[in-house]
Amino acid sequence: MTKKQIFTYITIVIGFGAAGYLLYHTFREYSLSDIVQSVRDIPTYNLVMAGLFAAGSYVCLSGFDWAGVRYVKNDLSYPKIGLASFIALSIGQSVGLSGLSSGALRYRYYHHWGMSTEDVAKIVLFSGVTVGIGMAVLSGIVMIINPKDAATVLRLSEAMVMGIGFACLAVTGVYLILAATVRAPLKIRSWSFEMPTLRIAIAQVVIGTINFALVSACLREVMAASADVSYLKAATAFVLANLAILITHAPGGLGVLEATVRHVMGDQASIGSLVAFRVIYFFIPFFIGLPLALIVEGVFRARKRSAGQGASSSVTPEPHSA
C-alpha cells in the first residue's frame, strides 16, 4: 500500500468520525418521530421550490464541465457533458472526496468519448478552480454585506471579516486579469496548462457564483417554512459550512454542514429543514445518478461487445491450399 493510499484511507476514517460525532451532537436532543414531524411541517411548496433550486445548481455544475471541455478545445456535445457531469457529481458529492470520486467517473466517460488522460485531468482541475472562484465570489459578497454573522462564528472583528470579503473578490479580479493578459503555458512535467481565455474565465465566475447562490436558495427555502429567514443569512451559513467542510473533509459534508448551519442560524434552522436539504440536494440526486451510472455502463459494454463482434465477422477467412 502506497503512502498516498494510506493518507486517503486515514482521511476517510477521520472524515466519517467527524461526521458521526457532529451528527450525534446536532440530533441528540431529538427523537426519530420529532425529526419526521419536523420534515412533515415543511409545506409542499417550499419543498418543490427547494427542489427546483437544487436542479438549477446541478445544471450549473454541468456548466463547469462544459467550460472545461471548451477550455481543452474539444467540441463534445452538451448532452454528453451534462450526463457525465451529473453522474460524477451526484455520486461524488455524496460519497466524499469529490475530486477523486467524481474525477474517476469523469475519466471513464470522457475517455470513452475520445479524450486523452491529460485533457480529462485539465477538465477536473478546471472545474475545481471554478468551484473555488464561485465560492470566493459568494463568500466575498456575504462577508461584505453581512459581516456580523460571519464575525460571530469565526471569532473575528467585523472589519477583518469585511477585509477577507474584499480579498476574496480581489483574488477573483486578479484571476480575470491573468486570463486576459497571460498566454504563456505553465509546464508541469510533460503536461502544460494555459490560462483560459477571458471569455471562459468570465463564464467560470458567472456560473460558479450562480451555482452556489442557487444552493443557498435551496437551503433558505426549507428553512423559511418555519422561520423568517433572510436569503443573505442563509447564504452566510452555507459559505461558513463549506469552509468547515473543506477543513474536515467529511464525506459530502455530512454532519459538518448541519452543525455549522445550526450554529449560525440557531432555532431558525429546524432539524426538519436540515434533513430536507440533505435529502433534496444530496440523496435524491445520488439515487438518480447511481442507477443512471449503471445503465450507462451497461450501454458502454454492450456497444463494445457489438463492435468486437462486428470486427470479427468482417474478417474473411483465407482459402485453404489444395
CA distance 97 to 93: 8
Q: At 193, which helix (H) or strand (E)?
A: strand 191-193
pLDDT at 322: 42
**For the chain (length 322 residues), average pLDDT per consecutive 10?**
56 55 55 76 92 96 94 93 92 69 83 90 91 93 89 86 95 94 76 86 96 94 84 88 73 75 81 88 90 89 76 55 45
8 A C-beta contact, residue 301 and residue 102: no
8 A C-beta contact, residue 15 and residue 249: yes
8 A C-beta contact, residue 140 and residue 217: no
8 A C-beta contact, residue 161 and residue 183: no
* C-alpha closest to that of 237 among 124, 116, 142, 96: 142
**Report field, pTM of the whole predicted structure over 0.85:** no
CA distance 276 to 282: 10
8 A C-beta contact, residue 204 and residue 130: yes
Which amino acid is present at 41? Answer: D
C-alpha dist (Å) from residue 190 to 19, 68, 69, 116, 187: 39, 20, 20, 14, 7
List all residues 6 or more positions away from 118 whose beta carbon is below 8 Å from its beta carbon: 191
8 A C-beta contact, residue 97 and residue 251: yes
CA distance 150 to 132: 19
Q: What is the rounded radius of gyration, in angstroms, for the C-alpha atoms of the chain?
A: 23
Q: Which three cell numbers stand for residue 92?
A: 461524488
DSSP 205-246: HHHHHHHHHHHHHHHHHHHTTTS---HHHHHHHHHHHHHHHH
8 A C-beta contact, residue 200 and residue 67: yes
pLDDT at 71: 93
Cell match 470479427: residue? 312
8 A C-beta contact, residue 281 and residue 215: yes
